[in-house]
Amino acid sequence: MPKTDKHLLIVESPAKIKTLSKFLGKDYKILSTFGHIKDLPPKKLGVEFNEKTGKIKLDYTPLKDKAKTIKEIVSAAKQTGDVFLASDPDREGEIISWHVKQEVEKVVDKSKIYRITFNEITKPAVTKAIENKGKVDVLKVNAQQARRVLDRWVGYEVSPILWRKLQKGLSAGRVQSVALLVICNREEEILNFKPEEYWSIHGTFNKNKASLIAELVKINNKAFKLTNKEQSEKTVADLKKQNYSVTDIQVKKRIKKPVAPFMTSSLQQASFNQLHFSVKKTMDIAQKLYEGLPLSESHPEALITYMRTDSLRLSETALNDGRGFIKENFGNKYLSKTANVYEKSKSQDAHEAIRPINVNVTPEIANRYLPKDAAKLYGLIWKRFVASQMTPAEYQQRQVNIEGGKYLFRITGSTLIFDGFLKVYLVEDEDDKKTVIIPKEITKSTILNLKVVDPKQHFTQPPPRYTEGSLVKELEKQDVGRPSTYQTILSTIQKRDYTTVDKKKFMPTELGMTVNKMLTANLSDIINVKFTAKMEEDLDKIASGDVKRDDVLVKFYKKFKKDLKTFAGAETGREPVLTKLKCPKCGKPLAIRFGKAGRFLGCTEFPICEFTANFKEKEDGSLEILKPEKPMVSDIKCPNCGKKLIQKMGRFGPFLACPGYPECKYIHQEKLKTKCPECGGEIVKRKSARGTFWGCSNYPKCKFAIFGEVIEKPCPKCKTPYLLITKDKDGKVTYKCNNKECNYSEEVKESAES
């Protein structure tokens, strides 16, 4: 096939194609990988470790449904002069390019395959990337592979032990399990927290008509603690005997510095706190803003830089544009004298902070053209970026000391005198909200009357449960995970039923607490915050070339294998979790047990006492026994004993059975009028882990089966006595013949099916 003069550019997301096509023109053919094209195999480990040589071999296979994508890319590469691999500028993007390169170099000279990266989808950025084309960064690929192998080892080696000990479907993860540990540790703090009583005292002082309310802060020039009502009443009585005067008035200027532009974690936190967006929603919208959304034109336009970054750096172009905008729209008094530079320790600094590509696209413009939530997130990013280059806000801070005998009262507050960066991006703290106005009549040495003494009882509060925002902040603080992983971590611990979210706060379930206790007891060297943080550092060192991939992996695996052997050899029974609830039948403690249908409460005296019940977890973490619901009674009578059948719940969902069990064991099965074409038996409805199907009642002697729903309507073409019912994603219903030699099908209205 003859080659064309076109260049082939391969990106991750198809959403970028429209934006890139707008300025790259007809000389470039742009294709998408739709994410990863290869990975470790789904049904086996895919990691071969040779203990003699210390070498690790990875077995990559094409992902499901990606064969067509790979074929299309390879076919297009044959016809082009050169290939530009333009997947995202992070480790995941690097290995996508590496995998594409492996396929493309089968038909294209290696010297014609280039790796390019850009932080923003604009013509200058992409043109510059093409001019500075390079090769796939093998060190970055090694770092991604190391993370994938570590996660695969923990997931594939630990999860089966959890299945055996607890229940199927559970999973462990090198990072997800540490996030669960953080949540469980906080829950333990809350459960073990003992409130302590303390009292505060405020006094209202006046001079003629002027008055001030101040808090008692020191006794005998020392901090104090009143722990009960008696101490408080004694202090109040003594306070009333004293004479008071103003001993000091301080008025100082305080500045609040502008905030740094966003990186991934701070964007997720601010979006959660200010816009009430989940981490997933934030990242989904940010992805669209990065790839391009239409403004006034029909063509999409990239609006922000890459949204997965732990860097606070801004390019010279961005600084110049941002500072120019501030000067023109707000004036010199709002522009910082020199560019504000922000740094973060342990930053990979692969690309810039998250910022608007064009500062002239203001939030007002975004509100006019973008979807509502996209406009909100863009506005937050724009404001944070512009504010980062503005002047500090200035406050006048006032402090008044009032003394009487051994007692010192104080009132402190601030008044905003110049808004600075707050003109664009509002940041408040409690001190900023306290405004103190000192009446003219009150000056230093003024004698004051204590008009009212107000004692108040308080109790110390336990630490709060984590929200999505505060959990991301904690994981970042502990160096657990990276910008690209936070979203996956939060979704996995919920999907596995390890945590629930109540009033936007994470609570571990009993299952989550059980899994956490089991993992930390048996794999404490791996499931801990310090180890996970150290491993993140090692991954960064692999990417920078300071350490070798296999050296890190071998060191990990030797210790992991030893701990795993101990864990696997420990008691393998499904371990019940003791609760504080008492059995309503015999009074003995109840325990959470694990069965095929999930978790349930069972008496610890089993089999002497056979009490079982379902339960629910209340907001405070305690358990409540659920009363069994009355079974739904059907109109169908049992053919054996005549009783009306009731609905029961089984492993694969609801079914009808005789209420006379165990004397009568009849279970109702739906059946077709049509007989089995192979043996003449009944065709009955069956259920399995894969779903519902129709099968011969003489199974396993006869293995005839029909997969899917059917209608007993003969095929007009071949007279097969039933037709299959199919429904596509748009809701279109079609009847198709099950006979492979007959191609009959008919499209029907949904009402026809019913």
Task: Note whether 493 and 499 are within 8 A (CB).
Answer: yes
Last residue of a domain, one of 526, 553, 569: 569
* Residues 449, 303 share a domain: no
pLDDT over threshold 90, residue 40: yes
Q: Which domain holds residue 616?
A: 577-625
The pLDDT, as a whole number, for residue 753 is 37
Residue 423 above 90 pLDDT?
yes
Where does a domain end: 439, 459, 479? 459
754 in any annotated domain? no
Q: What's the pLDDT band for 189 if we cut at 50, 70, 90?
A: very high
Q: How deeply is 581 buried, as exposed, middle or buried, from its count of CB atoms within 10 A (0-12, 13-18, 19+)?
A: middle
> How does pLDDT run across 380-390, given as a tens digit for each residue?
999 999 999 99
Which residues lie below 8 Å from residue 500, measured CB to CB, with a gap of 6+?
A: 494, 506, 507, 509, 617
CA angle, 719 as apex, 715 and 722 as ends, to 5°? 50
Residues 6+ apart with CB under 8 A from 672: 682, 683, 684, 694, 710, 712, 722
Within a domain: residue 236?
Answer: yes
Residue 587 lies in a domain: yes
CA distance to 595, 669, 686, 723, per residue, from 712 (Å): 38, 17, 17, 7
Tokens of 27: 């000389």
Q: What is the pLDDT of residue 430?
A: 57
Contacts of 330 (CB under 8 A, 6+ apart): 390, 423
Could you tell me the pLDDT band of residue 441, with boundaries at 50, 70 and 90? confident
Residues 368 and 484 in one domain: no
**Where residue 621 falls among pLDDT bands split at 50, 70, 90?**
low
Query: Distances in Å between the alpha carbon of 102 and those of 70, 109, 110, 135?
Result: 11, 11, 10, 13
Total of domains in the chain: 5
Is 751's pLDDT higher than 70?
no
Query: Over 80: is that where the pLDDT of 301 sits?
Result: yes
Nearest-angstrom CA–CA distance, 293 and 367: 13
**How far is it, in rounded angstroms, from Cα 598 to Cα 344?**
45
407 counts as catalytic: no
pLDDT digits (tens, 9 = 90+) for 228-275: 999 999 999 999 999 999 999 999 999 999 999 999 999 999 999 999
CATH code, domain with 163: 1.10.460.10
Look at residue 694 and tell me if it is in a domain: no
Q: How far apart are CA 466 and CA 494, in angstroms?
A: 13
Are residues 339 and 369 part of one domain? yes
Region of poorest pLDDT, from 10-19, 57-66, 548-557, 742-751: 742-751
Q: Of 183-192, 695-704, 724-733, where does mean pLDDT reach its minimum?
A: 724-733
Please indicate, yes or no, if residue 750 is contained in any of the structural domains.
no
Nearest-angstrom CA–CA distance, 28 and 30: 6
For residues 542-576, b (16+ Cβ closer than 10 Å) or e, as one string? bbeeebebbebbbebbeebeebbeebeeeeeeebb
Q: Average pLDDT of 61-83? A: 92
| Separation of alpha carbons 268 and 308, rounded Å | 11
Asked if the structure places residue 686 within a domain, the reply is no
Instruction: Specify whether 324 is located in the same domain as 435.
Output: no
HSE at residue 191, side-chain half, CA atoms within 13 A, is 13
**Cβ proximity of 643 and 637 under 8 Å:** yes
* Spatial separation of the C-alpha atoms in residues 258 and 336, rounded to whole Å: 10
pLDDT at 429: 66
What's the average model confidence in pLDDT over 181-189? Answer: 94
435 vs 21: which has the higher pLDDT: 21
The CATH number of whichever domain residue 284 belongs to comes to 1.10.290.10
Q: Looking at residue 597, what is its pLDDT?
A: 58
Structure-token pair, residue 252:
């100082």
**pLDDT tens, position by position, 455-468:** 999 999 999 999 99
The answer on 510 and 449 residing in a single domain is no
pLDDT (tens digit per residue) in 652-696: 567 788 987 777 888 877 888 888 888 888 888 877 656 678 889
Q: Which of 564, 470, 574, 568 is nearest to 523 (CA)?
A: 564
Confidence of residue 651 (pLDDT cuts 50, 70, 90): low
| Amino acid symbol at 183 | I
Closest CA to 596 of 643, 555, 649: 649
Q: Which of 115-124, 596-605, 743-752 shows the lowest per-residue confidence on average (mean pLDDT)?
A: 743-752
Predicted confidence at residue 572, as pLDDT, reads 47
Give the CATH number, domain containing residue 99.
3.40.50.140
Place of tokens 């002069």: 81
Q: How far is residue 160's CA from residue 149's CA, in Å, rounded to a whole number?
A: 17
> Helix axis angle, 138-165 relative to 510-522, nearest 10°?
110
How far apart CA 60 and CA 70 sit, in angstroms, is 14
pTM above 0.75, yes or no: no
250/297 same-domain check: no
The single-letter DSSP state of residue 91 is H
Q: How confident is the model at residue 277, as a pLDDT?
A: 95
| 16-22-25 Cα angle (round to 5) | 110
Summarize the chain as % helix, strand, coil (round to 5): 35, 25, 40
Within this chain, do residues 268 and 252 fall inside the same structural domain, yes or no? Answer: no
Give residue 754's pLDDT: 33
Q: What is the CA radius of gyration of the chain?
A: 34
Domain for residue 699, yes or no?
no
Same domain, 313 and 378: yes
**Which carries the bigger pLDDT value, residue 193 or residue 436?**
193
Residue 411 maps to a domain: yes
Q: Answer yes or no: do 455 and 473 share one domain.
A: no
Q: How far is CA 290 from the centre of its chain?
A: 19
More confident residue, 360 or 632: 360
DSSP bridge pairs for 656: 647
Whether residues 333 and 434 fall in one domain: no
Please state, in angstroms and rounded to a whole number, the distance separating the CA atoms of residues 671 and 697. Answer: 9
* pLDDT of 415 strictly over 50: yes
How far apart CA 402 and CA 392 sit, in angstroms, is 32
- Residue where the block lists tokens 């996956």: 488
What's the rounded Cα separation, in Å, for the pair 536 and 532?
6
Omega into 607 within 30° of 0, i.e. cis? yes
Average pLDDT over residues 3-8: 74
Q: What is the pLDDT of residue 726?
A: 83
Question: Do 489 and 557 fall within a single domain?
Answer: yes
Q: How far is CA 712 from the centre of its chain?
A: 47
Q: Is 306 helix (H, G, I), strand (E, B) or coil?
A: coil
431 with 412: CB under 8 angstroms?
A: yes
The predicted structure's pLDDT at residue 677: 85
Task: Between 209 and 258, name the one with better pLDDT.
Answer: 258
Report the alpha-carbon distance of residue 641 to residue 706 in Å, rounded.
31
Please name every residue paired with 390 in a beta bridge, in sequence order, or none if there are none: 335
Active-site residue (options: 306, 378, 407, 466): 306
Burial class (CB in 10 A: 0-12, 13-18, 19+), 307: buried
**Average pLDDT for the chain:** 88
- CA–CA gap between residue 90 and residue 716 (Å, rounded): 57
Q: What is the pLDDT of residue 433?
A: 64
Question: Same domain for 17 and 103?
Answer: yes
Q: Which of 116, 136, 156 is at the close of a domain? A: 136
Tell me: pLDDT of 183 over 80. Answer: yes
Measure the CA–CA gap between 447 and 243, rounded to whole angstroms. Answer: 8
List the beta bridge partners of residue 88: none
pLDDT tens per residue across span 723-745? 988 877 667 788 889 887 888 88
